[in-house]
Chains A and B, each alone.
Chain A
């Protein structure tokens, strides 16, 4: 894939400026229709989810007091994983988006909520709500796109260290909450710019460390201690629950913007963007996950990533209801509404991570028969200098062109 602006078959070529503004108008109307009908049922829904989360968490923690007993370990770990996922996804993420601010309940409000996660709520709100949701899928601006550490686009020149990308993507997934905390803190950028002495950065870093301290103490000291002789099994259970939650939320988030077919955008393409164009970028830059109601809840309704990106502050419980109208809009304007079951979207996202960890075209051209020469070429590109890389890359690119032409002719 390549940024939309450089594509040969631009998927929005057929849209006129008026079309785009009409799309914007229709979306504004859909948004208003939800706002006009927000009410008691929605309020009851979020309170119910919060209530269920707290009960599952309390129950699982209680069961884990006996974590030395294997069935208790299993049940407690599953329960705690589910609780942590609910808390981060359907509850925390969405409350912090301000989806429930309209209820004016100070206990369920974006300005007062804190979540079970390494990154403090206010730092996450800044990097997520302001940066990611504003600059969705704009290469170089949207850090969610690879968290600033990954090659997310063919246009980014391939470097040998990108070969490690699948491995560190997986490590990032396992410790996702810390990865998010680091990137909300803009840790990598601040170190690169040698600005770690900046008092403002230090204050934020301190807040993150304090938060991590509290989180770690809770899961790895206090609750294990409460379990007495079962200290170690409880610690293991809590670690597992955090790991499961991290892998799960990482998968859901990968599915949102990373599957094949989701578009990315050039920095300069968003200068002077109209509301209609902003909407269109959200439509093209997101992908949904299809599945059951339980699946939607466990993903925090980020399974309706397209709807969420169009209307980040509408109650998540309403995305399913407007999804058919959004899909109809895509159809009428000849746009592709990306949706697939979770395994397929996760597979597609990982395929892309692996493909981009290799030089452009390498994966496409490689098959069982030419594996050896291809590996040799890859070895040369990895160990050779920029010149070798450029030459071999030209070869690869030409090879792709040839094989595609052959496929088209056949």
Chain B
């Protein structure tokens, strides 16, 4: 390989091998979209054949996918929904197109089989423990069903399962047919809440529907408001340690004045407002940024703040750095709070 590098400099042998086989072992991790299967009017399952170095995921985990939308590489996280036992070596994610969502709409409506996407190895902690719970409760809404579907498909050993799922109508339930089949087979007790007609379920209503809730380990995934209400209820009941949640996005709570962000190594300076994460502002300006979940949980986006101040959009906390400091900040949930210099 060293010898091959001498022959290909300034390029790498991989640059040529990628022409032939982008999914080979040793290549950057990529995948090829094999099929896009519609699930509901605004959701679809994407079947992806991962590169040779892909490691099997744990059910409930998510994968980061980088896909070119209008020529621009965008990274988003999607929970893996497939059965680990698939014989074709592919995995699936299931995406719900959100209004004006760039990547979700592209994946659901425009992505073509054959497209090469960039991948990271699966990651995430929204998984069952080694010691399987005797009784489980899943509370989901909308696209929040995805990691739970991944769990249900792979853990037939769970025998006492309640799933409370909310969606606007029966037709909007992603995996509606599969879930109803699981219920018919007696594998789960399914409570479908169609919010267009029946309104939203609050935590108290769930407690009423599931009387033995305190005995159950609970996994919840859905909108921020729902998760916060559940956390409050479980806290009050003193069983917060039995509740596991998965968020798809960070809640923006506090915004303020922005400022000039300077990337000292790269030399780029840009004006960022106080509501936009530095990660987004920098990417829009063409700066290559490290990133991960883009919602403040994975620390894949951390960079040193050399000077200036940033605000954590989730709680308004301001972090400042004196000249020369290297305070590590998460760029995906930090906005400029005045001028700041970032070492990148």
A→B interface (CB under 8 Å): 38-44, 51, 54-55, 58, 98, 101-107, 109, 111-112, 114-116, 211, 214-215, 217-218, 222-223, 226
**From residue 7 to 52 of chain B, which have CB atoms closer than 8 A to chain A?**
7-11, 15-16, 19
Given contacts A54-B19, A98-B286, whether A114 and B10 have CB atoms under 8 Å apart is: yes
Decide if B195 is an interface residue (CB 8 Å cutoff): no
Decide if B192 is an interface residue (CB 8 Å cutoff): no
In contact, B68 and A40 (Cβ under 8 angstroms): yes
Given contacts A111-B266, A218-B6, A223-B7, whether A101 and B68 have CB atoms under 8 Å apart is: no
CB distance from A261 to the nearest CB of B (A): 35
Most buried by A among B9, B10, B288: B10
Q: Name A101's closest neighbour in chain B (CB-CB).
A: B286
In contact, A40 and B71 (Cβ under 8 angstroms): yes
Q: Give Cα A102 to B10, complex, Å.
A: 23
Q: With a CB–CB cut-off of 8 A, which chain A residues contact B266?
A: 111
Contacting residue for B288 out of A55, A106, A226, CB 8 A = A106
In contact, A116 and B283 (Cβ under 8 angstroms): no
Decide if B70 is an interface residue (CB 8 Å cutoff): yes
Q: Name A130's closest neighbour in chain B (CB-CB).
A: B267
Q: With a CB–CB cut-off of 8 A, which chain B residues contact A112?
A: 288
Q: Give Cα A109 to B10, complex, Å.
A: 14
In contact, A38 and B9 (Cβ under 8 angstroms): no
Q: Give Cα A109 to B285, complex, Å.
A: 13
Q: Name B344's closest neighbour in chain A (CB-CB).
A: A111
Q: With a CB–CB cut-off of 8 A, which chain A residues contact B8?
A: 218
Given contacts A54-B15, A111-B288, whether A105 and B6 have CB atoms under 8 Å apart is: no
In contact, B68 and A43 (Cβ under 8 angstroms): yes
Q: With a CB–CB cut-off of 8 A, which chain B residues contact A226?
A: 7
Given contacts A42-B71, A54-B15, whether A104 and B6 have CB atoms under 8 Å apart is: no
Q: With a CB–CB cut-off of 8 A, which chain A residues contact B11?
A: 54, 114
Which 3 A-B pairs give the minimum distances between C-beta atoms?
A43-B71, A101-B286, A114-B10
CB distance from A130 to the nearest CB of B (A): 9
Q: Give Cα A115 to B287, complex, Å.
A: 20
In contact, B283 and A104 (Cβ under 8 angstroms): yes
Given contacts A55-B19, A104-B288, whether A214 and B9 have CB atoms under 8 Å apart is: yes
Sort chain B's interface into a size bin. 20 to 34
Q: Give Cα A114 to B266, complex, Å.
A: 16
In contact, A217 and B6 (Cβ under 8 angstroms): yes
In contact, B9 and A104 (Cβ under 8 angstroms): no
In contact, B10 and A104 (Cβ under 8 angstroms): no
Q: With a CB–CB cut-off of 8 A, which chain B residues contact A116?
A: 10
Contacting residue for B19 out of A51, A101, A218, CB 8 A = A51
Q: With a CB–CB cut-off of 8 A, which chain A residues contact B9?
A: 214-215, 217-218
Main secondary structure of the interface of A (DSSP, over half): helix
Given contacts A98-B286, A111-B288, A222-B7, whether A39 and B19 have CB atoms under 8 Å apart is: no
The A/B interface has a contact count, at CB < 8 Å, of 65
Q: Name B265's closest neighbour in chain A (CB-CB).
A: A111
In the complex, 15 of the A-B residue pairs with CB atoms within 8 angstroms, ordered by the A residue number, are: A38-B71, A43-B72, A44-B71, A54-B11, A101-B287, A101-B288, A102-B286, A104-B283, A106-B288, A114-B11, A214-B10, A218-B6, A222-B3, A222-B6, A226-B7
Q: Give Cα A87 to B70, complex, Å.
A: 25
Q: Give Cα A39 to B106, complex, Å.
A: 14
CB distance from A56 to the nearest CB of B (A): 12
Q: Give Cα A111 to B9, complex, Å.
A: 17
Q: Give Cα A51 to B18, complex, Å.
A: 10
CB distance from A131 to the nearest CB of B (A): 14
Decide if B73 is an interface residue (CB 8 Å cutoff): yes
Contacting residue for B286 out of A104, A215, A217, A223, CB 8 A = A104
CB distance from A86 to the nearest CB of B (A): 13
Contacting residue for B70 out of A40, A105, A214, CB 8 A = A40
**From residue 143 to 163 of chain B, which have CB atoms closer than 8 A to chain A?**
none
Q: Give Cα A116 to B7, complex, Å.
A: 12
Q: With a CB–CB cut-off of 8 A, which chain A residues contact B15?
A: 54, 107
Q: Give Cα A51 to B15, complex, Å.
A: 10
Contacting residue for B72 out of A103, A214, A222, CB 8 A = A103
Q: With a CB–CB cut-off of 8 A, which chain A residues contact B7?
A: 218, 222-223, 226
Q: Give Cα A107 to B9, complex, Å.
A: 15
In contact, A39 and B10 (Cβ under 8 angstroms): no
Q: Name B28's closest neighbour in chain A (CB-CB).
A: A107
Q: Give Cα A268 to B223, complex, Å.
A: 61
CB distance from B21 to the nearest CB of A (A): 14
Most buried by B among A51, A55, A58, A218: A218
Most buried by B among A42, A102, A115: A102
CB distance from A66 to the nearest CB of B (A): 17
CB distance from A9 to the nearest CB of B (A): 41
In contact, A39 and B70 (Cβ under 8 angstroms): yes
CB distance from B64 to the nearest CB of A (A): 14
Q: With a CB–CB cut-off of 8 A, which chain A residues contact B3?
A: 222
**From residue 271 to 307 of chain B, which have CB atoms closer than 8 A to chain A?**
283, 286-288
Q: With a CB–CB cut-off of 8 A, which chain B residues contact A44?
A: 71
Q: Name A104's closest neighbour in chain B (CB-CB).
A: B73
Contacting residue for A104 out of B16, B19, B72, CB 8 A = B72
Interface string of B63-84 (1 = CB under 8 A from A): 0000010111110000000000
Q: Give Cα A40 to B9, complex, Å.
A: 29
Q: Give Cα A112 to B16, complex, Å.
A: 17
Q: Name A51's closest neighbour in chain B (CB-CB).
A: B19
Given contacts A43-B68, A54-B19, whether A105 and B73 have CB atoms under 8 Å apart is: yes
